[in-house]
């Protein structure tokens, strides 16, 4: 399965993993092929598990809202924000521009 530049960019930003060289792209494609094997498993009629601890009774606390409307107060703690979202610091790797990576994907 081929990996587009856009998918690669999205994955790098999610994982903060550098796929800048052909070895990184090849490793990613190998992982995708490995995970694709799961599509071969017949899951017809199998209900999804709610928990890996299905044999235990899990008690959840009541979801009682005791306070709220504090968005501005919380956002004041942010070093950087965009609209009403915190901006996470960049990862420990510099991510190249999309145009710089196209050469690595052409051979795959």
SS (H, E, C) 29-65: HHHHHHHHHHHHCCCCCCCCCCCCCCCCCCCCCCCCC
Least confident of 65-69, 76-80, 85-89, 101-105: 101-105
pTM (whole model) above 0.75: no
Question: Which of 19, 16, 40, 17 is closest to 98 using CA atoms?
Answer: 19
pLDDT tops 60 at residue 28 = yes
pLDDT tops 60 at residue 43 = yes
User: Cα(86)–Cα(70) distance, rounded to whole angstroms?
Assistant: 14
Task: Give me 34's structure tokens.
Answer: 């490995």
Percent of the chain residues past pLDDT 70, beyond the cut: 77
Per-residue pLDDT at 30: 85
The rounded Cα 86 to chain-centroid distance in angstroms is: 17
Mean pLDDT taken over the chain:
78
């Amino acid at each position: 399965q081929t990996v587009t530049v856009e998918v690669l960019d999205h994955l790098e930003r999610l994982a903060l993993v550098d796929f800048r060289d052909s070895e990184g792209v090849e490793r990613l494609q190998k992982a995708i092929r490995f995970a694709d094997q799961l599509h071969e498993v017949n899951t017809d009629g199998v209900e999804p598990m709610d928990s890996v601890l299905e044999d235990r009774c899990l008690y959840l606390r009541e979801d009682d809202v005791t306070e709220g409307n504090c968005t501005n107060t919380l956002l004041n703690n942010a070093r950087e924000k965009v609209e009403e979202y915190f901006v996470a610091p960049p990862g420990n790797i510099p991510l190249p521009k999309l145009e710089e990576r196209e050469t690595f994907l052409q051979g795959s």
